[in-house]
Amino acid sequence: MMTFEFNEAFAQSLDTADPLGSFRDQFLVPEKQGKQRMYFLGNSLGLQPKSTAASINTILQHWAEEGVESFFTGKSPWMDLHNALLDQLSVIAGAKPSELSVMNQLTVNIHLMLVSFYQPTGKRKKILVESKAFPSDQYAVHSFLEHLGLDPSEILVEVNSGSENVAMRNEDIVHAIARHADELALVFLGGINYYTGQLLDMQHISKVSREAGAMVGFDLAHAIGNVKLNLHDWDVDFACWCSYKYLNGGPGAVAAVFVHEKHHADTSLKRLTGWWGYEKAERFAMKNSFVPEPDASGWQLSTPSILLYSCLKSSLDIFSEAGWANILAKQEKMMAWLSALISDLGSEYFECLTPDARGCQVSLLFKEKGREVYELLFEKGFMVDWREPNVIRLAPVPLYNTFTEVWHFYSALKAIIFEVYATKKPVQASE
């Protein structure tokens, strides 16, 4: 257990001792009237690395000078950029570089993975999902099943916490897998729930899914670059994620997939194919019959966006410099600090929806006047997130947020609660 003092001087001492404190200077922090705002929206869109513009300009200059030959010539041929991304990303994903492919967008990749890893046979046709998954995941699964001529209401097994404002229990997921063990073809869940911020026990879910005879995949949009992952060792079949949240790849950033190496040579898996997934050594022979690259990149379809690759590379370079283990260690301390401060505010006016198993995100459900609280926070320079009906989400990110910013959030929220709920008993100060 960490021991904290509830004052700004203590927060500043944490920042002084922070080995990652200087990395904030590598990001562009939004400003208002010349003053940096307190940006707690890494769960929605990560900040722009200062190096991103130069990386894009380097690609543009290479293009201007070499044209299409840029793929093969120069100091950094574009054909080599994908492998550079994989080496860095594999550390964050807990995967082998050969198990990763940086491609497309998240929902596109979900569709591609469903083609390969949803294999209904006999009565084993069902897909286990969470009832309150991010809507795009629901749209993808529903439309995919309808494309196959299947009725989603007959195929989907939804795990429900009983309320959208209550986190699921891992044991409920495990029990649902056990109940439908002989019917499940696939278990597909979000590694971290976008609304509550709950982190699932993916290792155990993967284990029980395999024991039930089902494939298992995860949407890691809110998990990648946020929490420790060991996708290879957990024996996950596949995973998909976007790169614009904690990975700071920019709006609409190129996404990625994980495909466990045990599937790379499995010719029984169906897949949609495109020429960029063709065996690299023979890709430009332009043959008609498809021969996939013998790793996860065999699931690629089209020529990648080198500009988007360069944006992601700028951020991954910062991750590599900071060290993934160091980032996780700071996150643990920062979230313990935030949790202690939130607990100090009590539960009279709001409750924290996020359980102890979580990453950077905390979701606060206000009993009333939540929108008013949100707007006052925004006016005071805090960039947080609003979700209906009364939820404020915030996510202090270890690479660019500070312990003092977390303290300022607590102090501002305490004052706003006193202002908004003035007719009620005020929140007592800690000092």
With CA atoms as reference, report the closest residue to 429 among 45, 325, 141, 417: 417
Encode pLDDT of 79-135 as tens digits: 999 999 999 999 999 999 999 999 999 999 999 999 999 999 999 999 999 988 888
CATH second-level architecture of 55-320?
3-Layer(aba) Sandwich (3.40)
Which residues are CB-contacts of 361 (< 8 A; sequence separation ≥ 6)? Answer: 43, 192, 197, 222, 226, 354, 393, 394, 395
Residue 426 has pLDDT above 90, yes or no: no
User: What is the percent of the chain with per-residue pLDDT over 90, rounded to a whole number?
Assistant: 88
Encode pLDDT of 306-349 as tens digits: 999 999 999 999 999 999 999 999 999 999 999 999 999 988 99
Residue 425 to residue 15: CA distance in whole angstroms: 33
User: What tokens were used for 45?
Assistant: 């869109």
Q: Is the link from the previous residue into 389 a cis peptide, with omega within 30 of 0?
A: yes
Residue 395 to residue 406: CA distance in whole angstroms: 10
Q: What is the pLDDT of residue 45?
A: 98
Question: Rounded to an integer, what is the distance from CA 406 to the centroid of its chain?
Answer: 21
Residue 429 has pLDDT above 50, yes or no: no
Q: What is the dihedral of CA 427, 383, 239, 113, to 10 degrees?
A: 130
User: What tokens were used for 325?
Assistant: 């283990």
With CA atoms as reference, report the closest residue to 47 among 22, 31, 29, 21: 29
With CA atoms as reference, report the closest residue to 130 among 151, 170, 157: 157
Residue 159's beta-bridge partner residues? Answer: 130
Element (H, E) at 140: helix 135-147
- Cβ atoms within 10 Å of 3's Cβ, excluding its own: 5
Q: Are 308 and 321 in contact (CB under 8 A)?
A: no
- The residues spanned by each domain of the chain are 8-50+323-420, 55-320
Encode pLDDT of 161-205 as tens digits: 666 666 778 899 999 999 999 999 999 999 999 999 999 999 999
Q: Are 416 and 373 in contact (CB under 8 A)?
A: yes
Q: What is the dihedral of CA 245, 358, 114, 230, to 10 degrees?
A: 90
* Average pLDDT taken over every residue of the chain: 94
Give the three-class secondary structure for 44: coil
What are residue 189's phi and psi, to 5 degrees?
-135, 160
Give the three-class secondary structure for 318: helix
Q: What is the pLDDT of residue 160?
A: 81
Encode pLDDT of 233-283 as tens digits: 999 999 999 999 999 999 999 999 999 999 999 999 999 999 899 998 888
Q: Are 386 and 406 in contact (CB under 8 A)?
A: no
Q: Are 181 and 203 in contact (CB under 8 A)?
A: no
Which residues are CB-contacts of 262 (< 8 A; sequence separation ≥ 6)? Answer: 235
Residue 71 to residue 185: CA distance in whole angstroms: 41
User: What tokens were used for 40?
Assistant: 């707690």
Q: Are 359 and 339 in contact (CB under 8 A)?
A: no
What are residue 210's phi and psi, to 5 degrees?
-60, -45
Higher pLDDT, 217 or 135: 217
Query: Which fold is adopted by the domain 8-50+323-420?
Result: Aspartate Aminotransferase, domain 1 (3.90.1150)
